[in-house]
Amino acid sequence: MCRREGVSLCGRERCALKRRSFPPGQHGPTQKRSKLSGYGLQLREKQKAKRLYNIMERQFRRYFDEARRKTGNTSEHLIRILELRLDNAVYRLGFAKTRRQARQMVNHGFFAINKKSVNIPSYAVKVDDEISIKENKLSKKMIDGVREVMARSSAPKWLHATPADLKGKVVSLPEGEDLQTVFDPTLIVELYSR
Q: What is the 3-state secondary structure (H, E, C) of 78-106?
A: HHHHHHCEHHHHHHHHCCCCCHHHHHHHH
**73-109 residue pLDDT tens:** 999 999 999 999 999 999 999 898 888 989 999 999 9
Q: Which domains can be identified in the chain, with CATH numbers?
A: 2-82+181-192 (1.10.1050.10), 85-172 (3.10.290.10)
pLDDT higher than threshold 90 for residue 113:
yes
Residue 118: pLDDT band (50, 70, 90) is: very high
Tens of pLDDT, residues 141-190:
778 778 777 877 788 899 998 888 889 999 999 988 888 888 889 999 99
pLDDT digits (tens, 9 = 90+) for 43-62: 989 999 998 899 999 999 99
pLDDT at 152: 79
Helix axis angle, 74-83 relative to 86-93, nearest 10°? 70
- CA 81-87-93 angle, to 5 degrees, is 100
**What confidence tens digit (pLDDT) does each residue in 5-54 have?**
777 777 777 777 777 777 777 766 766 667 889 998 899 899 999 988 99
